[in-house]
Amino acid sequence: MIYFDHNSTTPYSPSVRRYIEQGILEDWYNPSSTYSQAQTLHQKMRECRKFIADYLNCSPKYLFFTSGGTESINTILSLETLKRNQLSTFITSHLEHHATIKKIDYLSDYQNIRPYWTSNNEQGEINLENLEKMCSKHPYSLLSFLSANNETGVITNIQAISKIAKKYNCLVHVDAVQSLGKMPVDLEKWDVDFASFSGHKMGAMKGVGLLYARKPFASLMYGGGQERGLRPGTQNYPAIQSFKLAVQDIDLNKQEYVKQLRDYFENTLAPMYKYQSKDFSPSKKEDQYFTQNDWKEETFPFKINCKKANRLSNTSSIYCGMGISNQAILLHLVQKGICVSAGSACNAGSPEPSHVITALGICDDISLRDYARSCIRISLSPSNTKQEIDFLIQTLKELVSPASYLRGIPSRNLSF
Ligand code: PLP
């Protein structure tokens, strides 16, 4: 099996694997109990929190263990957070993960909150001028933005957002789920008030996440005094330990190799502005970037989304051509033993096209929804190889070439 879906979830990091194989069996005590075995876990949990805090450059007192990114995000984006910090509303973007968008939609539909949505460009970058205008009109807001987009990999300038927020008495929450392990994360430098993280995106177990909060917030749940009463419920010690071990295993130096692999993939599959098929007319803006000489007669329709933006090293979002359903592509790739996704894993199997790709507003010749239905996401890790990439390129090219009709590969005009 060839795995190119690391933004969806990751295999265990080496230390986590070792812990599962050798250490986990003894760690079943409730860390809140009083006898020594349990207290040992309590102490180890304290060490985990301190270790992770040092890595993130923050105080351990601001870190709370949760069940994952979704819970952390849902906890912070609440009426209670607004009330406790004398804030009035939320400002966010259409490019956020569903954990953010659906919670904000809920607050808007049922809690009488009117949220504001910033604009973005075709490269998936937040329009900071527009954001500043919005903050000046609606000071005392809670801003929530991804530090790196799960579908396109586009990195947001969180420091710039924090600066704007300060000017207008706003607070900032950052969804950093996709950043940890793939790019530097320094909470002091970002200067944000809240941040959400998830274990299973960076080599730890599923069912563990982290919430950073240096400003007041309220628990989603009521119960015991764990996590200072702000996240009641018995702590999942083995998963928390795995979070610490996965952080310990992070080696950002390997991202240079991952970037080379990703760039090789993109440049081989779709050399910039050259591989435009006859049936794909580029948007006017792109016209500025290539001349008629750059066109190829017989070519493939692949196009890399957000290629000009600052992106995570490992992520590539690809448009595969008009009328080619991403669900059909996924099916074909699975038959070849290749795992990729159509976008967010949370939406897998949904007939709805990706809200992130449609929000890019890329094309003016086919509908945005049709465009998004023909996009797939590749997300790499240091464990991937050039041979695997070559096989993926070859398989994708076979799949979308006109000759594939003749060979009966069911790619075009299939919908699921
Ligand atoms: N935020 C982003 C950017 C994500 O990619 C995900 C998971 O896909 C989440 C939040 C949700 O995290 P979890 O799966 O830990 O609930």
Return the pLDDT at 399. 84
d(CA 145, CA 154): 12
Closest atom of ligand 1 to CA, residue 200? 15
Probe ligand 1: pick from 75, 102, 103, 201, max atoms within 8 Å of CB?
201
pLDDT surpassing 50 at residue 344: yes
User: From the CA of 278, how far away is ligand 1's center (Å)?
Assistant: 38
Q: pLDDT (tens digit, 9 = 90+) per residue, 299-314?
A: 678 899 999 999 999 9
Q: Is 345 in the pocket of ligand 1 (CB under 6 A)?
A: yes
Mean pLDDT of 87-101: 97
Closest atom of ligand 1 to CA, residue 344? 8
Return the pLDDT at 285. 45
Q: Is 403 in the pocket of ligand 1 (CB under 6 A)?
A: no
Question: Which three-class secondary structure state does DSSP give residue 25?
Answer: helix
Report yes or no: 411 and 404 within 8 Å, Cβ to Cβ: yes
Q: Is 174 in the pocket of ligand 1 (CB under 6 A)?
A: no
- Determine which helix (DSSP H) or strand (DSSP E) holds 2, and give its type and residue range: strand 2-3
User: From the CA of 333, how far away is ligand 1's center (Å)?
Assistant: 24
Mean pLDDT of 199-219: 98
Q: pLDDT (tens digit, 9 = 90+) per residue, 386-398?
A: 999 999 999 998 8
Return the pLDDT at 190. 98
Q: Is 315 in the pocket of ligand 1 (CB under 6 A)?
A: no
Total residue length of the chain:
416
- Strands (DSSP E) contained in 203-309 are 209-213, 303-304
**pLDDT greater at residue 328 or residue 87:** 87
pLDDT surpassing 90 at residue 411: no
Query: Whose C-alpha lies nearest to ligand 1, atom 8?
Result: 8
User: From the CA of 75, how far away is ligand 1's center (Å)?
Assistant: 14
Q: Is 9 in the pocket of ligand 1 (CB under 6 A)?
A: no
Task: Count CA within 13 A, CB hemisphere, residue 124.
Answer: 29
Among 94-108, 277-291, 316-330, whose mean pLDDT is lowest? 277-291
Return the pLDDT at 113. 95
Q: Is 99 in the pocket of ligand 1 (CB under 6 A)?
A: yes
Q: Is 146 in the pocket of ligand 1 (CB under 6 A)?
A: yes
Q: Which residue type occupies 361? A: G
User: From the CA of 60, how far away is ligand 1's center (Å)?
Assistant: 22
Query: Whose C-alpha lies nearest to ligand 1, atom 14?
Result: 69
- Determine which helix (DSSP H) or strand (DSSP E) holds 137, and give its type and residue range: helix 128-137
Confidence of residue 187 (pLDDT cuts 50, 70, 90): very high
Query: Whose C-alpha lies nearest to ligand 1, atom 13?
Result: 69
Return the pLDDT at 278. 43
pLDDT surpassing 90 at residue 403: no
CB atoms within 10 A of CB 136: 11
Q: Is 63 in the pocket of ligand 1 (CB under 6 A)?
A: no
Cα four-point dihedral sign 248, 249, 252, 253: positive
User: From the CA of 52, how far away is ligand 1's center (Å)?
Assistant: 19
| Of 163, 87, 156, 89, nearest in space to 132 by CA | 163
Return the pLDDT at 311. 98
| Cβ-based neighbours of 83, under 8 Å, separated by 6 or more | none
